RNA sequence: AGGCCCGUAGCUCAAUUGGCAGAGCGCCGGACUCCAAAUCCGAAGGUUGGGGGUUCAAGUCCUCCCGGGCCUGCCA
């Protein structure tokens, strides 16, 4: 089975955009790939964060992922900083990475000009990401559109390394989100994002009433019959419905919309109801896991061991090729 | 290592010679709406980065610290 790597930052809670966009995809990919899923806390520290809660957040992210269907039996699930080879490989990669390439990363440019303090870590972020992927010699990387450039950089780094030191790393290919693009409920022109304010994002673990408030207040349009045309907000609600409701239900609402009879409040109720049906088992599973924290810690510890086994073996060879110790 | 500039509400910024800490946007509540949006009404929001000092009175002046930006030097 092809080896696959993906990571997620532990900062902020999972929202349904993450869930339908990435996580459900991760769950499916487990079946036909050797999956390595990583909670990337070392990436999180490149921006503002709280050192007192980071570990707890990482643990909670693991809990959420397992509740969502990531199976520690099928996948290697672990916390990045627990495997020190990530950083070691990053340093070696720093030396085969073109400075010019890094300055062209659009995500860095976007992020850096919004902040007053720009850390060198933020700039070097894509190199750590390359190390994350290649440390496990992964050949597939599921990512969002915005990360494709980083995977391309990873390929360039792999190529450069292989040219200089000998064939070793695969050139990984991005698997570009088959997952849905869920838009903000408050501003349906924008993708639902952790970094936006509360009312933009619906938390995966949020309680039912609070989710209803957000769906009810989701932006729509002045209403009434526009044929097949759909405003972004309404389209977003239909996306959610498609993801959670039976086809016949969706078709019914579609017809109402075409005929101009659709009451958005009805659509919103249906979205809420079906969304909850999808999410509730995940929330229940999480509660169950939270009752026994040490079980999750245990699973993470096992994940760490599995990750280390691969990482240390690969790094041993890398060190030899590069000419550094420890030998 | 030295010099210069900056730090005020969630965000962008005001505040006369030192004289009651404010506005816009956002957030929250309400009206309107099938639900929203827009609009209208209303409310909340602050240790002015922190400590010390001068003064009747400090966001404003002095001093130290923290944080951020820029310039120069040292090392060769």
Catalytic residue among A74, A137, A160, A194: A194
Contact, A271 vs A49, CB < 8 A? no
Which value does ipTM take for this structure? 0.81
pLDDT the model gives residue A229: 78
pLDDT bucket at A68, cuts 50 / 70 / 90:
very high
* Strand runs labelled E in A113-264: 140-143, 173-176
pLDDT bucket at A198, cuts 50 / 70 / 90:
confident
Q: Which two tokens stand for residue A251?
A: 């078709």
| Three-class secondary structure of residue A208 per DSSP | helix
Q: Which two tokens stand for residue A153?
A: 């950089």
Contact, A70 vs A39, CB < 8 A? no
Judged by C1' against the alpha carbon of A224, the nearest nucleotide is B34
A160 catalytic? Reply is no
CA-to-C1' span, A50 to B8 (A): 24
CA-to-C1' span, A81 to B5 (A): 39
Nucleotides of B under 7 A from a protein CB: 26-28, 33-37, 67-69
Judged by C1' against the alpha carbon of A115, the nearest nucleotide is B68
pLDDT bucket at A191, cuts 50 / 70 / 90:
confident
Residue count of chain A, please give it: 327
CA-to-C1' span, A84 to B51 (A): 40
Judged by C1' against the alpha carbon of A116, the nearest nucleotide is B68
pLDDT bucket at A178, cuts 50 / 70 / 90:
low
A76 membership: H or E segment, kind and range: strand A75-79
CA-to-C1' span, A114 to B55 (A): 41
Tell me the C-alpha distance between A153 and A156, whole Å. Answer: 5
Tell me the C-alpha distance between A112 and A299, whole Å. Answer: 36
Average pLDDT, chain A: 92
Catalytic residue among A191, A214, A268, A304: A191
Judged by C1' against the alpha carbon of A187, the nearest nucleotide is B37
A224 catalytic? Reply is no
Residues whose C-beta lies under 7 Å from strand B: A 116-118, 186, 197-199, 216-224, 233, 262-266, 268
A194 catalytic? Reply is yes
Tell me the C-alpha distance between A264 and A270, whole Å. Answer: 10
Put the strands of the sheet holding A140-143 in their side by side order: A75-79, A34-39, A3-8, A140-143, A173-176
pLDDT the model gives residue A189: 86
What percent of chain A stands above pLDDT 70? 97
Tell me the C-alpha distance between A327 and A325, whole Å. Answer: 5
Rg of the Cα trace of chain A? Answer: 21
pLDDT the model gives residue A52: 83
pLDDT bucket at A109, cuts 50 / 70 / 90:
confident
- Token pair 């039976």: residue: A246
pLDDT (tens digit, 9 = 90+) per residue, A81-95? 999 999 999 999 999
**Cis peptide, bond prior to residue A264, ω within 30 of zero:** no
Tell me the C-alpha distance between A304 and A258, whole Å. Answer: 53
pLDDT the model gives residue A197: 60
What is the torsional sign of CA A152, A310, A123, A195?
A: positive
Across the range A61-75, mean pLDDT stands at 97
pLDDT (tens digit, 9 = 90+) per residue, A204-242? 999 999 999 999 999 998 876 556 678 999 999 999 999
pTM of the shown model: 0.92
pLDDT the model gives residue A271: 97
Across the range A144-169, mean pLDDT stands at 95
Chain centroid to CA A307:
19
pLDDT the model gives residue A195: 67
Catalytic residue among A74, A111, A216, A285: A111
- Token pair 């520290």: residue: A45
Contacts (Cβ under 8 Å, ≥6 apart) of A90: A124, A127, A128, A130, A131
Q: Name which of A95, A151, A83, A159 is nearest A311 in CA terms.
A: A83
Provide, for chain A, the percentages of residues in helix, strand and coil under a 3-state DSSP scheme, each rounded to the nearest 5. 60, 10, 35
End-to-end CA distance of chain A: 31
CA-to-C1' span, A48 to B64 (A): 27
CA-to-C1' span, A111 to B76 (A): 37
Judged by C1' against the alpha carbon of A265, the nearest nucleotide is B35
Across the range A244-260, mean pLDDT stands at 94
């Amino acid at each position: 089975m092809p080896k696959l790597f993906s990571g997620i930052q532990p900062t902020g809670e999972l929202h349904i955009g993450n869930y339908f966009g990435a996580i459900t995809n991760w769950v499916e990919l487990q079946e036909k790939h050797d999956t390595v899923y990583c909670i990337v806390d070392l990436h999180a520290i490149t921006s503002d964060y709280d050192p007192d809660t980071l570990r707890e957040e990482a643990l909670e992210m693991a809990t959420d992922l397992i509740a969502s269907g990531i199976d520690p039996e099928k996948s290697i699930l672990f916390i990045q900083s627990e495997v020190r080879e990530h950083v070691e490989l990053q340093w070696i990669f720093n030396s085969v990475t073109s400075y010019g390439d890094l300055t062209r990363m659009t995500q860095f440019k976007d992020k850096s000009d919004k902040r007053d303090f720009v850390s060198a870590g933020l700039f070097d972020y894509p190199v750590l990401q390359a190390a994350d992927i290649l440390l496990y010699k992964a050949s597939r990387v599921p990512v969002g559109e915005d990360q494709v450039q980083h995977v391309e950089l990873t390929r360039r780094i792999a190529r450069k390394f292989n040219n200089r030191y000998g064939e070793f790393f695969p050139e990984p290919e991005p698997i570009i989100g088959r997952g849905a693009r869920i838009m903000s409920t408050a501003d349906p022109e924008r993708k639902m994002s952790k970094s936006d304010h509360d009312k933009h994002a619906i938390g995966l673990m949020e309680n039912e009433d609070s989710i209803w408030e957000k769906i009810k207040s989701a932006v729509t349009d002045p209403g009434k019959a526009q044929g097949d045309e759909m405003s972004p907000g309404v389209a977003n609600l239909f996306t959610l419905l498609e993801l959670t409701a039976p086809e016949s239900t969706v078709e019914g609402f579609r017809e109402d919309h075409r005929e101009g009879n659709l009451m958005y409040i009805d659509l919103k109720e249906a979205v809420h109801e079906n969304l909850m049906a999808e999410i509730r088992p995940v929330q229940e599973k999480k509660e169950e896991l939270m009752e026994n924290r040490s079980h999750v810690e245990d699973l993470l510890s096992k994940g760490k061991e599995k990750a280390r086994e691969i990482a240390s073996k690969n790094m041993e060879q890398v060190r030899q090729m590069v000419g550094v110790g420890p030998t």
